[in-house]
A and B are shown apart, each in its own frame.
Chain A
Amino acid sequence: MEKANSYTGSVRIRYALIFAVMTALTLLLVALNIVTGSVDIPLRDVVRLFLSGRGTDGGLYGTLGANEVYSTYASIIWDIRFPRALSAMILGGALSLAGYQLQSFFHNPIAGPFILGISSGSKLMVALLMVFGFGLMRQGGSVSLVIAALAGAILSMGFILLISGTVGNMSALVVCGVMIGYICSAVTDFVVTFAADADIVNLHNWSRGSFSGSGWSGVKVSAVTIAIVLILSIYIAKPLGAYALGEEYALGVGINVKRLRALLVLLSSLAAAIVVAYAGPISFVGVAVPHLCKRIFASSRPIILIPGCFLGGAIFCLVCDMIARVAFAPTELSISTVTAVFGAPVVIWVLIDRHRRGYIRSVRHGGLR
């Protein structure tokens, strides 16, 4: 069936349907993530726990707390599973959004925060903070982690921009990104090797990538930041759509290309940094999910794809995190293990598919002029 244009009524209804299904799926998966886990909690108790709410006095710990089993259940659900499900949703969405923005920025189908070394830059800075700046971290709490991650992301991004300005070839750009990733990982490993034991326990879990570390404070910070990123992204959706055709087309309709690019860099770095700060580096979500979303919506309109990618990333990461927790319970897999298994084939499919459809042309990218 030939695709109709993006402005007719029937297509709008289709978009609305897809969004409804994705939202429902996201909510369902959050619920599933809360229900499943290595400890079996009867569904009835989960519902009861939620219905009774968590009051400061009375509530779960008060009335149900009399029974020790209930109090354990309550703690598992409120302190572990619920914030974890929420952070998988928020951070997964953020990662996919960052990937979409980077792909738009570089006009490169396999750009993403992990592949371009942005996540690894953040990882390095956070590792340095964890090992050398522990005092600082206690003071600043999780916000200092975010700042370190953002600094790392922007450093890597700046490096990538410098390279893209001179090399301007899309496969070379990806190779450079992967190399930056390796360098950062090597330095991170070096730091970890010589760190004190107490620091390593924290660092080791985190550096493999996991949504387990984020408690409510992490959920709060990331929810607020990502909400801002999402709103600003929708605000630049219109110019982004014109920019997607190429820089000349953006200039031709009167877009301030420099400002648009600066915003794209900032928003994608911020989103990627938040993810690294709270969940460590997670691979392939940023590359794979935007393409799946484009295919599902059969559209490239940013106003559709920005919320679409967010929901898609949320769904993808909720599924992957559930698999990571449940598949070999009580042993937990690192989230990147699961995302790579599902994400890498998608990337290969994307390359083959685009080649078949004749999309692959070496797009000259001029860098920041």
Chain B
Amino acid sequence: MTEAYVTLKSVTTGYGRDNIIHRDMDLNVAKGEILCLIGPNGAGKSTLLKTIAGVLPLISGHIYIDGKEVPAGGRERARLIASVLTTPPITEYMSVYDVVAGGRYAHTGSFDIQGKRDRDIVSKALSDTETWDIRDRDFTRLSDGQRQRVMIARALAMEPKLMILDEPVSHLDIYYKQQVFDILKRLKQTCDITVIMSLHELTDVAGIADRVAALGASGIALMGKPDEVITDENIHRLFWRQDKI
């Protein structure tokens, strides 16, 4: 295995100290790798992703990117990690461009004035996600597939070192699903982007993931290449006899 780029060290997730989901999880992701989290509903996939994204506070443990510890919050963290979570944004009178340009937040000054470099990055994020042609459309009038690509563009505009995606293709039909996967694969090749994402459909995993982490009731139960992890026996243990894992 290549050298670890993103490292989670004894990370404990949950909603406050009284409601802990998982204790002391360790995880390594290489640079340019796409890691998929799988596991039954309620296994804590979203909780882990939200914790890495900085939306939920890290209860204990450390997250390192490129050898440096990720700060708990603030602009510094936002420059390292971008996320596309499942809650849709509330927008009013916002074009696709506006939503994506909002991703520059941690890079712009107090009045959010966007310079040439910001505009170039937003434009590139739009073209990379094939949303350039719809940049002037009102965000609320988009289809689910378009919205998801716009949210990925917004995350790209943050120029993150790590991208978090929580069930990015859940509401998408097979065509849009493939489109999102193609975009991610291309970004991986051209931008060397590192991704941790959760997927609901196990049949999707092999097509996109470099490695898979299976989350069970007691934390990360299995870890490895898709064909090693997704076997009939493992799936049965993970999804049907959750207590045994």
What 0/1 readout, one digit per residue, does chain A (289-322) give for beta carbons within 8 Å of chain B? Answer: 0000010011111010000000000000000000
A251 touches B90 (CB 8 A): no
Q: Which of B105, B106, B110, B136 contacts A4 (CB 8 A)?
A: B136
Check: B219 CB closer than 8 A to any chain A CB. no
How long is the Cα–Cα vector from A314 to B96 in the complex, in angstroms?
A: 32
B55 touches A254 (CB 8 A): no
Residues from chain A with a CB closer than 8 A to the CB of B98 are 5-7, 301
B97 touches A300 (CB 8 A): no
How long is the Cα–Cα vector from A358 to B141 in the complex, in angstroms?
A: 9
Check: A241 CB closer than 8 A to any chain B CB. yes
A19 to chain B, nearest CB (A): 15
Interface size on B, residues (CB 8 A): 43
B113 to chain A, nearest CB (A): 9
Segment 57-102 of B: residues with Cβ below 8 Å from A: 73-78, 82-83, 85, 87-99, 101-102
Check: B112 CB closer than 8 A to any chain A CB. yes
A252 touches B91 (CB 8 A): no
How long is the Cα–Cα vector from A254 to B104 in the complex, in angstroms?
A: 12
Check: A220 CB closer than 8 A to any chain B CB. no
Check: A235 CB closer than 8 A to any chain B CB. yes
Check: A134 CB closer than 8 A to any chain B CB. no
How long is the Cα–Cα vector from A90 to B1 in the complex, in angstroms?
A: 66
Q: What are 19 A-B contacts defined by CB distance under 8 Å?
A: A2-B137, A3-B93, A5-B95, A5-B98, A5-B101, A5-B136, A6-B94, A6-B95, A6-B98, A241-B112, A242-B105, A245-B90, A248-B50, A249-B102, A252-B55, A252-B83, A254-B77, A254-B105, A303-B112
A261 to chain B, nearest CB (A): 15
What 0/1 readout, one digit per residue, does chain A (270-295) give for beta carbons within 8 Å of chain B? Answer: 00000000000000000000000010
Check: B158 CB closer than 8 A to any chain A CB. yes
Check: A363 CB closer than 8 A to any chain B CB. yes
How many pairs of residues, A versus B, come closer than 8 Å at their CB atoms? 104
Check: A65 CB closer than 8 A to any chain B CB. no
How long is the Cα–Cα vector from A25 to B105 in the complex, in angstroms?
A: 34
What 0/1 readout, one digit per residue, does chain B (124-148) give for beta carbons within 8 Å of chain A? Answer: 0000000000011110100000000
Q: Which of B75, B89, B112 contacts A245 (CB 8 A)?
A: B89
Residues from chain A with a CB closer than 8 A to the CB of B171 are none
Check: A260 CB closer than 8 A to any chain B CB. no
How long is the Cα–Cα vector from A92 to B203 in the complex, in angstroms?
A: 59
Check: B175 CB closer than 8 A to any chain A CB. no
Q: When A3-B95, A5-B135, A294-B92 are in contact, do A251 and B55 touch as well, CB less than 8 Å? A: yes
A243 to chain B, nearest CB (A): 10
How long is the Cα–Cα vector from A2 to B137 in the complex, in angstroms?
A: 7
How long is the Cα–Cα vector from A297 to B91 in the complex, in angstroms?
A: 15
Q: When A246-B87, A252-B55, A252-B83 are in contact, do A4 and B95 touch as well, CB less than 8 Å? A: yes
